[in-house]
Structure 1
Amino acid sequence: MPLASAVMLDFCGDVLQLSFADGDPAKVLAGIDRFFAPSDALVSASEIQVPHLFVSDMDSTMIGQECIDELADYAGIKDQIAAITERAMQGELDFESALRERVGLLAGLDEGAIAQCLEERISATPGARTLVGTLAAKGARCVLVTGGFHHFADRIGEELGFHRVVGNRLEVSGGKLTGGLAGPISDASTKKATLLEELEQLGPEAHSLAAGDGANDIPMIEASTYGFAYRAKPKAREAASGRIDRGDLTSVLSLLGIPKSEWTLD
């Protein structure tokens, strides 16, 4: 067997498949970064196949925005909350403390601002519907798990075709946000636990795919068969076996070797 080989996957159109007789995934990705950055890449120690489970983050992954930052704009405090969000996603702040602080600042905001925000500010990331639709059509179980809120995630999950949604719940009283959360916190440990719970239901041979962009996505990215960092923060990118730095989310399908003729288009 040669030490290395390269072949262009014609059925995907623009995917170069590299094979190594003996290669450390971290070193392979470092080499790709050195010569091809920014790049879209997936490294696997075994033959890549379509996953049985897809678990994804929502904000800045399946949608192009951070919901809490956009919602904060309706309270006139977007810059203040966005600064906290950025530090949390970089892994500089404890996620739960940062979440409770930001939600607390929204106390008194009319609940109607959520629907307005959804209509005016929130949009799917390019390729999101095709990615979810194609994986679902291939038989994959698709789960949206977020440190964001059910007020947003339930609708987004339904529109994109996810089978299950896991997230936090904003507490509302008298038609206004109280500044608190209802129920348990959905955080990094929840994301990983959700992936492992779903995998257990699918059986020991099941392969999983996870996608995210921030520090709180790292545990599920590391626990998955294929962990993708989408336009991600440095810590999440370093933890991933796959990354999308150039293309949209359909690049994941190409890297999995799924021909474009089999994609479920928007």
Structure 2
Amino acid sequence: MVASKYVLTFINRSDENLTDAKVQQLILKIVAHIPSDIQTDFTTLKRLGDRAVDQYMTTSEPIDKDMLQGVSHHVDLILQHDDEYRQDKKLFVFDMDSTLIYQEVIELIASYAKVEPQVKAITDRAMNNEIDFKESLRERVSLLKGLTIDTIYEEVKGKLQITKGVPELCKFLHTKGIKLAVLSGGFVPFAQYIQEQLGLDYMKANVLETDSEGKLTGKVTGEIVDGEIKAETILTLADKWSIPLETIMMVGDGGNDLPAMGVAGFGIAWNAKPKVQAEAPCQLNTNSLLDALYILGYTDEEINHHLL
């Protein structure tokens, strides 16, 4: 049987250095988690930075990330096939709320209608994949009925906080000629604003319906951007830009991002709900989304060079 080649990336969730001794401790735990009938050979160790290390390995049979569950609660372990697609990315697709920005926009809007707790409760259930996204969006938008949205658009935009590391990540990816897109279950004006701030190549989001007086009707007009639409949009963009699916990365935090991760070459659950982390191809739980570049195998030296 042909050996399976993998690269296992260790990323310390804190700002502390990831020592060689700590890496060796984790490798011993990993060996204990992999079934004994699978022969594992740890080969080259490559340091990406003070907090991140690549460990190359081969196994006698294929393995998956579920075999690494519980190895560490302080270091993210990202398992990938050691192939040309790891760094050869053509398209990065992002969720917006709680990914590119820290907030959930609908909760910011809900504060004006004094229904933020009710909306947040529904949002949490949707992001944890406990309720259908379309149903959750309709329930949340219905609570906003009667708001004069034009008067609060600019105020809400002013409250949006871009996630740490995102501007630098987008700048780096642009220098590599990689296209960037945001597919949001949020709303067009805010997704357009983030698109402009980050220079993204494509945007898709939901449209809030208003009446003749400019007040929200409590409904969404047009198709709802849920998990299925995100996945379909990735397929459409791949065809439009002649991009192999294997070269696409999807980054998100909610259950409605999982279908898109499923069609993309790889996916990152960014500080996501436990159920999403369990189902996503990998998880990243640090305080900077720039750390996604470690998952692609870039070193601190390479990252800093392109950001100068």
Q: Which residue of 1 aligns with 2:261?
A: 221
Is 1:43 the equivalent of 2:79?
yes
Measured at CA, do residues 232 and 166 of structure 1 come closer, stay the same or move farther in structure 2, by a change above 3 Å? Answer: same
Q: Structure 1: 5+ residue runs without aligned partners?
A: none
Q: Which residue of 2 aligns with 1:124?
A: 162
Q: Which residue of 1 aligns with 2:303?
A: 260
Q: What is the rounded CA distance, in whole Å, between the counterparts of 1:224 and 1:41 in structure 2?
A: 20
Q: What is the rounded CA distance, in whole Å, between the counterparts of 1:262 and 1:183 in structure 2?
A: 44
Q: What is the rounded CA distance, in whole Å, between the counterparts of 2:236 and 2:161 in structure 1?
A: 29
Measured at CA, do residues 264 and 53 of structure 1 come closer, stay the same or move farther in structure 2, by a change above 3 Å? Answer: same
Q: What is the rounded CA distance, in whole Å, between the counterparts of 1:227 and 1:175 in structure 2?
A: 39
* Identical aligned residues as a percent: 32
Q: TM-score, normalised by structure 1?
A: 0.91
Q: What is the rounded CA distance, in whole Å, between the counterparts of 1:151 and 1:34 in structure 2?
A: 41
Give the CA deviation at 1:152: 0.9
Q: What is the rounded CA distance, in whole Å, between the counterparts of 1:142 and 1:40 in structure 2?
A: 25
Q: Structure 2: 5+ residue runs without aligned partners?
A: 4-39
Q: Which residue of 2 aligns with 1:16?
A: 53
Q: What is the rounded CA distance, in whole Å, between the counterparts of 1:153 and 1:203 in structure 2?
A: 23
RMSD of aligned C-alpha atoms? 1.9
Measured at CA, do residues 24 and 83 of structure 1 come closer, stay the same or move farther in structure 2, by a change above 3 Å? Answer: same
3-state DSSP of counterpart to 1:34: coil
Structure with higher Rg: it is 2
Q: What is the rounded CA distance, in whole Å, between the counterparts of 2:284 and 2:245 in structure 1?
A: 26
Q: What is the rounded CA distance, in whole Å, between the counterparts of 1:224 and 1:39 in structure 2?
A: 25
Q: TM-score, normalised by structure 2?
A: 0.79
Kindly provide the CA deviation profile for residues 159-205 of structure 1, in whole angstroms up to 9, marking residues without a partner as x: 02211100100112322212111211111011111111222232447
Contact 2:146/2:216, CA 8 A, preserved across alignment: yes
Deviates more, 1:51-60 or 1:202-211: 202-211
More relative contact order in 1 or in 2 (CA 8 Å, sep 6+)? 1
Q: Which residue of 2 aligns with 1:251?
A: 291
Q: Which residue of 1 aligns with 2:141?
A: 103
